Amino acid sequence: MTRSKWVAAATLGALLLAGQALAADKKVVAVSIPAADHGWTAGVVYHAQAAAKEINAAFPDVEVVVKTSPSATAQVSALEDLSAGRKLDALVILPHTSEELTMPVKAVKDGGTFITVVDRGLNDPAIQDLYVAGDNIAVGRNTAKFLVDKLGGKGNLVVLRGIPTVIDDERIKGFQDGIAGSDLKILDIQYANWNSDDAFKLMQDYLAKYPEIDAVWANDDDMLLGVLEAIKESKRTEIKYALGGNGMKEIIKKVIDGDAMTPVETPYPPSMIKTAIYMTVANLVGHAPVRGAVKLDAPLITKENAEEYYFPDSPF
């Protein structure tokens, strides 16, 4: 049994064992996540709302409340609103940014709330009781190893970062470690905010600035869409690969179809928020504590295994 299947089975088992043995007072689980401002976060909102609906129906003594926020500042305010006037037994949070949310989450923690952090870690890991995320270092490293192999260990690269967060730092570290020892050179690396429009503009700048680019790594598929559009409009032909990450269905379809520029992908499923919510509820109503860190694998998705990762009806 794989780690992810074991986690799912263990979580379900804890919930089933809980049965009706719940506390008299309703337990409140607040879920604070970014608003659906791009494809991946749309998937997060979809899966969070699905988990809340399922748990609220199955466990009448547990209330899961989902709150979305369009910015880090709004998310700080949302935390204050969620915790005002009632006790939060648990908080599941996917922070907008690590820096701005660390102290507000600590304040909630200090009130006795169980803290589950998803995806974008806080600057102080000691605040979290549970951490659920994909393997961001592997996302960067596995992509880098593919480029080292396919480019023969030499060439010019440009890289697009997301936003200043722990997971962005991890992806970049994995990528840099993956090309270490090769003659692949990163010409430029700048933030594009995990946004397709911002990535389009940044890629246009890269194309104007650098006459020879062998490959592009946008460490997120929303940014990759903007990169691909900019390359298409430029009619540049020397760029061999443009790769992303996260497992967007449009990119997985490219891999399935054997797209020459985007032949591989790495998964980072937004459904991890649902896993985190279920594990948090299991900690509240189960018979064993749930603590520690759960990291989901990030194997290279190729034409041979892409069908396993393709969900055309999903929002992402």
**Same domain membership, residue 213 and residue 249:** yes
User: How many CA atoms does the CB half-sphere of 244 hold within 13 Å?
Assistant: 29
**Same domain membership, residue 144 and residue 44:** no
Residue 113 lies in a domain: yes
**Same domain membership, residue 117 and residue 233:** no
**Same domain membership, residue 152 and residue 60:** no
**Same domain membership, residue 50 and residue 69:** yes
Residue 309 lies in a domain: no
Which CATH number fits the domain that encloses residue 8? 3.40.50.2300
What's residue 315's pLDDT? 81
Residue 48 lies in a domain: yes
**Same domain membership, residue 153 and residue 123:** no
**Same domain membership, residue 232 and residue 286:** no
Q: Give the pLDDT means over successive 10-residue stretches in the chain (316 positions).
A: 46 48 73 90 92 95 96 96 90 94 96 94 94 93 98 98 89 97 98 96 98 96 97 97 94 97 94 94 85 91 94 81
- Domain enclosing residue 87, as ranges: 3-135+269-297
**Same domain membership, residue 81 and residue 49:** yes
What's residue 11's pLDDT? 55
What's residue 192's pLDDT? 97
Residue 55 lies in a domain: yes
What's residue 15's pLDDT? 52
64: alpha, beta or left? (left if phi > 0; alpha if psi -120 to 50)? beta
**Same domain membership, residue 279 and residue 181:** no
Residue 316 lies in a domain: no
What's residue 71's pLDDT? 95
Residue 105 lies in a domain: yes
Instruction: Give DSSP secondary structure letters for 35-53.
Output: -S-SHHHHHHHHHHHHHHH
What's residue 21's pLDDT? 43
CA atoms 51, 52, 53, 59: torsion sign: positive
**Same domain membership, residue 283 and residue 193:** no
Q: Cα separation of 36 and 47, whole Å?
A: 12
Residue 264 lies in a domain: no
**Same domain membership, residue 228 and residue 128:** no
Look at the chain and report how many structural domains it folds into.
Answer: 2
Q: Which residues of 272-311 are buried (b: 16+ CB within 10 A; e: fewer)?
A: bbbbbbbbbbbbbbbeeebeeebbbebebbeeeebeebee
**Same domain membership, residue 129 and residue 140:** no
Residue 302 lies in a domain: no
Q: Cα separation of 309 and 307, whole Å?
A: 5
